[in-house]
Amino acid sequence: MDKSGTSFLFERVKSQLPRRLVVANGVDLHTLEAVGRAISNNIITATITGDKDLILSNFKKLGFASDGFKIESFNNAGDAVRRAVEIARKGEADLIMKGLIGTDEFMKAILDKEHGLLPNGALLSHVAMLFNDVYHKPMFVSDVAIVPQPTLQQKEQMVKYLVSVARKAGIEQPKVAFIAATEKILAKMPACTDAAALKEKWENGAFPGTICDGPMALDLAIDKDSANVKGFDSPVAGNADCLLFPNIESGNVFYKTNTKFCNARAAAIVLGTTIPTILSSRGDSTDTKFYSIALASLIG
């Protein structure tokens, strides 16, 4: 990978037309810097809801020109979020992004049964793309933020989300590892039995155009030497593109270990909504928000 590890992502993005992004209460410096960078790189055009004076003031501080975006001014953050969701619902945006607003309030508007963006019966799930210099290629990871204890049926949909994002990023035949604590099928460990069931579904054609295996301990999925030592023979071992974690705790710890201890770069989106949702934390770096916009633009 290149120094930043992200050329993999931007090589894909630059070949497409700019997407229309709507930003819900996008008044903070980190969000506006990410949006400004995405506009400057011709990844998006943007509509930003929120306090117009604050938005323009912060864009000026950041040194960005006041073109490539429009502002719909609201003094109240809740009104700004509801308007952003309305814009998305009307088909006037390809992507939606959370700005300076609590996740609970943002998601309440997204999930509103009458005015929101979640189709009836759809599964809301989180997909992260990680660039860790220790690994030889990007990793696609789910779910680290939304689904606490997914059922087997939900895991099947989460695999489909992972595969769809990996394909959009240019991986023709994604290799998917169903992560558990061991490669053995232990009846008392749901992670193992679910992984075995998912592998059986793959063998029966559930995830066409992929190579899937599990249950698989993390070291086997990402380290070929570990697989060789343990005698675990699999085309996924040491070469996984996609990691499906059995629950939010394991996925979240993996994500934060990568980003906090290993300085991995990250992009993250939420799928299941009518358009990709960028649910970056208010504390996320500008880079993370910028990479997330780029990833969402591939899907949108």
Q: What is the pLDDT of residues 58-83, one digit of tens each?
A: 999 999 887 779 999 999 999 999 99
The pLDDT assigned to 3 comes to 41
Contact between 283 and 28 (Cβ < 8 Å): no
In angstroms and rounded to an integer, the radius of gyration of the C-alpha atoms of the chain is: 20
| CA–CA gap between residue 95 and residue 274 (Å, rounded) | 9
Residues 6+ apart with CB under 8 A from 105: 77, 78, 81
In this prediction, the residues of the chain whose per-residue pLDDT falls under 50 are 1-4
Q: What is the DSSP letter of 218?
A: H
Is CATH 3.30.450.260 the right assignment for the domain spanning 125-261?
no
Contact between 165 and 294 (Cβ < 8 Å): no
Which residue in 249, 297, 256 sits closest to 277, CA to CA? 297
Q: What is the DSSP letter of 284?
A: S
Contact between 28 and 4 (Cβ < 8 Å): no
Give all strands (DSSP E) within the chain, no chain letters.
19-24, 44-50, 69-73, 95-98, 125-131, 139-142, 175-179, 211-216, 242-244, 265-271, 277-278
Q: Where are the domains of the chain?
A: 7-121+273-299, 125-261
Helix, strand, coil content of the chain in percent (nearest 5): 40, 20, 40
The pLDDT assigned to 81 comes to 97
Residues 202, 207, 211, CA angle at the centre, nearest 5°? 70
CATH of 7-121+273-299, one of 3.30.930.10, 3.30.70.20, 3.30.70.100, 3.40.50.10950: 3.40.50.10950
The length of the chain in residues reads: 300
Residues 6+ apart with CB under 8 A from 174: 140, 162, 163, 166, 167, 209, 210, 211, 241, 242
The pLDDT assigned to 282 comes to 66
pLDDT digits (tens, 9 = 90+) for 172-212: 999 999 999 999 999 999 999 999 999 999 999 999 999 99
How crowded is residue 187: how many other Cβ atoms within 10 Å of its Cβ?
7
> For 26, phi and psi rounded to 5 degrees?
-85, 70
Contact between 194 and 159 (Cβ < 8 Å): no
Q: What is the maximal distance between C-alpha atoms in the chain? A: 63
The pLDDT assigned to 5 comes to 57
| CA–CA gap between residue 282 and residue 264 (Å, rounded) | 18
